[in-house]
Structure 1
Amino acid sequence: MGPEQMTVRAIELASTEPRERCSQCPTHPRGVPVTVCDVHPIPDTTKVDLVCHYRGCSNDGRRPEGLQEVDPPHGTCELGMLFAHAAWLEAASVPAFLRLADELREHGAPERLIQAARRSAADEVRHTRAMRELAHRHGATMPEVDIAPFHSRGLDAMCLENATEGCVREAYGALVAGWQARSAHDAEVRHAMTAIAKDELRHAELAWAVDAWASERMPPTTRERLREARRETLHDLRNEVERHAPPPVLVRDAGVPSQAEALRLVHGMAQLLA
């Protein structure tokens, strides 16, 4: 979870000063904006290593439909950016789960699934508070959450979002949260992520329970579309991890998986889904 970076080696630039964005920035696979570009001159040459930092994170969890991207907080450290962005994503998950609860009721789902979705929304409120406090500790403020108005949708559309954002990305988020709970050098981060990891695991279990319930009411062609959506999302997730690496400070202090560690987590998920 957190900012990512990509290095474009040995290119010519007119200036070696850091800038908010440059014309050479590679496109992030999910369209995540660049936060800043660092330029490192290569000795005895006229070329530089250009390191472009992105605000995104691989374990975006249950992003609601219509979530508007925001600019990162300026003038803060990478840890502050990480926790402010995490708080923003946690806050955005609250209406996502409330919408899921409403849609489950509308489609006649069991009460246990409806209540689990509402309980998950309450979990995300606590997660937002925890991440916001960590962000403030590092001088950052959580951006405002802006989501386009929800519209009524059918069972298929609800389940497609659940398959990608819940069954895959939320499940990966639970793995990353558990990793952070064990690996972060910062004791406050370990404490916060220990509680969050348990909740996120329940959220992933809810996603799969919703998938199982809905699958019984769908024709084989629709079930196959959901399976294919999960496979594609997992493939996208693997590509994101392969193309972007978290800064060392996030690996050390926040326990964010390194690129190699994240790849192992994705590989393990792929084996389970297979």
Structure 2
Amino acid sequence: MSSRTVVLVPKHRMLRRTLYGLLLAAPLLPGGLACGGEEVGFVCEPDYSALNLGPIAVQADGGFPRPCGLCPPHPDGVSNWGCSTAGTADGGADLICHYQSCFGDGRRPEGLREAAVLDSGSELGALFAKAAWLEAASVPAFLRLAEELQTHGAPEELVKAARRSAGDEVRHTRAMQALARRHGADMPEVDLPPFEPRSLEEMLRENAVEGCVRETFGAFVAGWQGRTARDPEVRSTLRAIARDELRHAELAWAVDAWAQEHLSAAQREGLRQSRREALRILGEEVDGHHPPEPLIHDAGLPSLAQAQALFQGLAAVGLQA
């Protein structure tokens, strides 16, 4: 039996039923009309991909800096992914801040420092470069989870599943890097401080937020992209990634289930509260989701209405646990 067919953690049947139901209904979820009036299954969301902040100072060598730190948070909560400059008629330059929604966050490790994707002139390139960065950051997150599970006496199946997930994320990083390079973008470096020891409760709280909520939603979005992306290479890549991400989500829920026997009633309630708060925050981010049209069309990102439907599916799973 190959390693790709080994089942290390039980399937989360409610999670799978919810996800498969949403994906089967993909063509039926709210889509609206395209800009040209032809019904194609996605909406013309407002394009929040760029914001011109006006003139910036010229450097001594005649070049222009890229002070991405000057870019403010977008009022609708859309992620800031970097900046570029645009020449003006008087020889100066304007600072352009780039904003794009980012779903499929995966398991962000504690202390991960945000990175800006250098401007490639391509929204798709920026999307895939940031996705590759997030996949790369998930590798140490899973290795840490495996080590901590072993330290806290978790079943060997959970430890092995966490290590296997780290290997999955290495493959995902390479796949997303390939898509990014195809569109002229490079993955930024992962800047992560050394991990410090933490308690079982702290580990489980991160698992509840990053695994049961964000990673599970990432699996939903990857599944959606693998079904709806018009670019065949993107669709094929995300379909393979989505299968792994679903197993990663199931690992998070399996860790959560194992934890119930090792925590007090107050600690268990604390975990539920952490999960509910993470759902609330993610719901606000979803409501501010306004992806540019190319990301809906070619990359398969869900539109606002579709993302809200996916989130409602996640909430149904998360709130009943």
TM-score where L is the length of structure 1: 0.84
Corresponding residue number in structure 2 for 1:196: 241
Q: 2:308 aligns with which of 240, 263, 272?
A: 263
| SS in structure 1 of the partner of residue 262 of structure 2 | coil
Contact 2:208 2:271 in 1 (8 A): yes
Contact 1:168 1:234 in 2 (8 A): yes
Q: Does 1:95 align with 2:145?
A: no
Corresponding residue number in structure 1 for 2:227: 182
Contact 1:135 1:141 in 2 (8 A): yes
Q: Does 1:208 align with 2:253?
A: yes
Q: Deviations over 1:176-205 (max 9, x none)?
A: 010001100000011101110000000000
Corresponding residue number in structure 2 for 1:26: 74
Corresponding residue number in structure 2 for 1:228: 273
Structure 1 segment 31-180 matched on structure 2, within 5 A: 32-33=79-80, 35-36=82-83, 53-55=98-100, 57-180=102-225
Contact 1:67 1:147 in 2 (8 A): yes
Q: CA, structure 1 residues 199+24, in 2 after alignment: closer, same or farther (shift >3 Å)?
A: closer
| SS in structure 1 of the partner of residue 117 of structure 2 | coil
User: What residue identity is the alignment partner of 2:271?
Assistant: L
Q: Deviations over 1:48-84 (max 9, x none)?
A: xxx9642551331100011111121213300000000
| SS in structure 2 of the partner of residue 256 of structure 1 | coil
CA distance in 2 between counterparts of 1:212 and 1:24 reads: 40
CA distance in 1 between counterparts of 2:214 and 2:120 reads: 30
| SS in structure 2 of the partner of residue 216 of structure 1 | helix
Question: How far off is 1:224 after superposition?
Answer: 0.8
Q: Cα RMSD between the aligned structures?
A: 2.8
Q: Deviations over 1:230-259 (max 9, x none)?
A: 111111111011113111100000001111
Give the gaps of 5 or more residues in structure 2.
Answer: 1-45, 56-65, 86-95
CA distance in 2 between counterparts of 1:23 and 1:134 reads: 26
| SS in structure 2 of the partner of residue 35 of structure 1 | strand
| SS in structure 2 of the partner of residue 181 of structure 1 | helix
Q: Deviations over 1:23-69 (max 9, x none)?
A: 77535759x5353599xxxxxxxxxxxx9642551331100011111
Q: Which moved more, 1:54-63 or 1:251-260?
A: 54-63
Q: Deviations over 1:122-169 (max 9, x none)?
A: 000000010000001000111111101000000000000000000000
Contact 1:6 1:244 in 2 (8 A): no
Question: How far off is 1:209 after superposition?
Answer: 0.3
Q: CA, structure 1 residues 7+137, in 2 after alignment: closer, same or farther (shift >3 Å)?
A: closer
Corresponding residue number in structure 2 for 1:45: none
Q: Does 1:250 align with 2:295?
A: yes
Q: CA, structure 1 residues 23+77, in 2 after alignment: closer, same or farther (shift >3 Å)?
A: closer
CA distance in 2 between counterparts of 1:58 and 1:187 reads: 20
Give the gaps of 5 or more residues in structure 1.
Answer: 39-50
CA distance in 2 between counterparts of 1:109 and 1:169 reads: 22
Moved over 2 A (4+): 4-8, 19-30, 32-38, 51-56
User: What residue identity is the alignment partner of 2:259?
Assistant: A
Q: Which moved more, 1:21-30 or 1:254-263?
A: 21-30
Contact 1:101 1:114 in 2 (8 A): yes
CA distance in 1 between counterparts of 2:272 and 2:182 reads: 42
Question: How far off is 1:7 after superposition?
Answer: 9.2
CA distance in 1 between counterparts of 2:217 and 2:123 reads: 22
| SS in structure 1 of the partner of residue 82 of structure 2 | strand
Q: CA, structure 1 residues 56+7, in 2 after alignment: closer, same or farther (shift >3 Å)?
A: closer
Corresponding residue number in structure 2 for 1:41: none
Contact 1:63 1:165 in 2 (8 A): yes
